[in-house]
């Protein structure tokens, strides 16, 4: 969601394009943009100071993960590290509030870091105008971060909601959870009840200055809350916790970020909705100059480390699915009476269902269970005890073909015979694996003595095509 929200706030500096702001003021539509801390203060995250044309070199529009993700990787932040993020976020809130916009969804997941580690406030889908101070819809936000007045139906609120949410978010950066989730409850109603009634307990390890800041931000009484007593963000900026901080330096992004997101990494939680790629289908593919021309204007080049991380994620996911499928197959085969223990106990390379083109005229597909060994291929139908057998020496070639729009494996056998199997009973990747293993087994040289020694003792009909 955050990645989709990335947009250009540069035009907000000129205030000539009012559509987004008007949408916020009407409470209609979503401003799907990302606010660079600098652009929110008139110093564009994508440019320089307004009207000067001066470039800062900051903000290429690329973001590298949100604070929720970095919190999970980095661990909780120290007070000094948290102060950096708090200061940049405060400037962003100050600018929005000066335009009568209340954000309403402040949380680590909505705070993106740019490639240098500076803050970008994202996802303004819940932001709205509070200039008329009319009652706004209740429960707009994220449970555990919403202010008490937001949870109370019919109660008008303004920028006060954001200062309470800021207190909740800073607490999470320091402790790893919202102050109203410390009992590990996931029940939204219970979280809301605690927000409305519970006094927040601050750890003894917090410095007096930090305690003063959080106690001020987390006041349930709006009239006593920091930022809500008439001077807005200035009240928060004057807290002892920020003593010695040069707010102009914060404004110009001159303070070094405590965390610079690694380049060439995903900087996001693993995504499993990625299609798998078959190595056999992509191996040896080379892009021509005409192909390269198509990609010349692409703004992004994916690094090898990123590709490796995606590949490892897909590999783990596919293996997990395969293990589940294998377990189901074993249970089913046991019910059907297939001697899988026999197959796996020997040197079986691969086994499973495929459809075989059968009958004297080779017009019907027959469901068969196949076992592939280094020196032979065996198969049998439902309830059949004699096992059909084809030795690797009898196979002239293993080919890929198509029969009635179905991908098939065609085994050409000495004497002009053929064996055709399709993937109707297995997936395409499995069929590719069958073809690969059959080719390897049929092309591998073997000793006749070893071959004879491996023929099993059960009754079978030789070359039962």
Active site residues: 105
- 3-state class of 15 per DSSP? coil
Q: How far apart are CA 99 and CA 432, in angstroms?
A: 61
Buried b (16+ CB within 10 A) or exposed e, 210-238: beebbbbbbbbebeebbbbeeebbebbbe
Contact partners, residue 320, CB within 8 Å, separation at least 6: none
- 3-state class of 18 per DSSP? coil
- 3-state class of 379 per DSSP? strand
Are the beta carbons of 118 and 91 closer than 8 angstroms?
A: no
In what side-by-side order are the strands of the sheet with 417-422?
395-403, 406-413, 417-422, 350-358, 364-373, 376-380, 387-391, 460-462
Are the beta carbons of 424 and 345 closer than 8 angstroms?
A: no
**384 token code pair:** 């059949």
Q: Return the percent helix, strand and coil in the chain, to nearest 5.
A: 40, 15, 45
User: In this structure, are strands 387-391 and 460-462 parallel, antiparallel, or unpaired?
Assistant: parallel
């Amino acid at each position: 969601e955050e990645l989709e929200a990335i947009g250009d706030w540069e035009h907000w500096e000129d205030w000539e394009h009012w559509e987004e702001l008007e949408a916020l003021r009407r409470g209609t539509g979503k401003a799907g943009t990302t606010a660079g801390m600098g652009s929110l203060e008139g110093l564009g995250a994508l440019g320089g100071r307004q009207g000067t044309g001066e470039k800062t070199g900051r903000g290429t529009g690329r973001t590298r993960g949100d604070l929720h993700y970095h919190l999970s990787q980095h661990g909780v932040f120290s007070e000094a590290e948290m102060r950096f993020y708090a200061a940049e976020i405060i400037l962003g809130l100050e600018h929005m509030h000066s335009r009568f916009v209340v954000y309403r969804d402040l949380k680590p997941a909505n705070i993106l870091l740019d490639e240098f580690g500076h803050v970008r406030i994202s996802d303004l889908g819940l932001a709205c105008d509070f200039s008329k101070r009319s009652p706004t819809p209740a429960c707009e936000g994220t449970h555990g971060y919403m202010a008490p007045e937001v949870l109370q139906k019919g109660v008008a609120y303004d920028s006060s909601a954001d200062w309470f949410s800021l207190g909740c978010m800073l607490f999470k950066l320091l402790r790893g959870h919202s102050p109203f989730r410390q009992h590990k409850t996931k029940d939204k109603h219970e979280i809301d009840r605690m927000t409305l009634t519970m006094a927040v307990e601050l750890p003894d390890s917090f410095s007096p200055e930090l305690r003063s800041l959080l106690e001020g931000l987390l006041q349930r009484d709006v009239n006593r809350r920091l930022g809500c007593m008439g001077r807005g963000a200035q009240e928060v900026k004057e807290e002892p916790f920020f003593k010695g901080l040069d707010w102009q330096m914060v404004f110009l992004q001159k303070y070094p970020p405590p965390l610079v997101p690694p380049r060439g990494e995903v900087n996001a939680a693993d995504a499993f909705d990625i299609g798998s790629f078959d190595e056999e289908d992509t191996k040896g593919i080379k892009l021509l100059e005409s192909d390269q021309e198509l990609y010349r204007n692409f703004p992004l080049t994916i690094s090898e480390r990123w590709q490796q991380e995606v590949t490892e994620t897909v590999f783990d996911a596919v293996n997990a699915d395969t293990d589940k499928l294998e377990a189901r197959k074993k249970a089913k085969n046991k019910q059907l009476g297939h001697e899988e223990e026999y197959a796996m106990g020997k040197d079986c390379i691969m086994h499973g269902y495929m459809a075989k083109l059968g009958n004297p005229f080779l017009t019907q597909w027959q469901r068969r269970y196949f076992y592939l060994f280094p020196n032979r291929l065996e198969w049998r139908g439902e309830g059949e005890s004699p096992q059909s057998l084809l030795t690797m020496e009898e196979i002239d070639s293993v080919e890929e073909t198509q029969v009635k729009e179905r991908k098939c494996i065609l085994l050409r056998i000495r004497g002009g015979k053929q064996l055709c199997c399709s993937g109707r009973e297995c997936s395409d990747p499995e069929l590719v694996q069958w073809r690969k293993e059959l080719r390897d087994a049929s092309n591998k040289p073997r000793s006749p003595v070893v071959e004879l020694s491996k023929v099993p003792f059960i009754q079978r009909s030789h070359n039962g095509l």
